[in-house]
Amino acid sequence: MAIKVGEKAPDFKAVSDTGSSITLSDALKDGPVVLYFYPKDETPGCTTEACTFRDRWDDIKKLGATILGVSSDSLESHKKFKEKRNLPFTLLSDPDKSIRKLYGATGAILPPRITFVIDSDGTIRHVYNSQLNARNHAVEAINALNLIRQKKEEP
């Protein structure tokens, strides 16, 4: 079962596509995080999803958020995928699926396509789980980030 809205996001440490280590807590210091889990680099749905996040990158950055994409692919696969698709955000390698397990983002047959929007205080503010609607993950994330911003601007 995936983590729910209102729960604290579990911290993790992973290796990024650049080979450097990153923790969620470090990423949250810069603002909200869009953490999206996807099944595999260079597959049709995952490529659509990643390219939609790429195409909406400016909107997401304007909302102060960082995008972290997670799959069990190798660092080499991530590097090739990122370069080929011109992805401006970080991809994390989760070969043992430990991050997926922390977030309950596991499936019986296929790993699910699920996006978590995490506020800078570490609280899950939105969860979107759709294996088939890969394009909508970025839209859902932007809508959630807009709500986070609106709530912070309220007196």
Active-site residue set: 46
Q: Which 8-state DSSP code applies to residue 9?
A: P
End-to-end CA distance of the chain: 35
Amino acid at 98: S
Q: Other C-beta atoms within 10 Å of 108: how many?
A: 5
Q: How many CB atoms lie within 10 A of CB 63?
A: 18
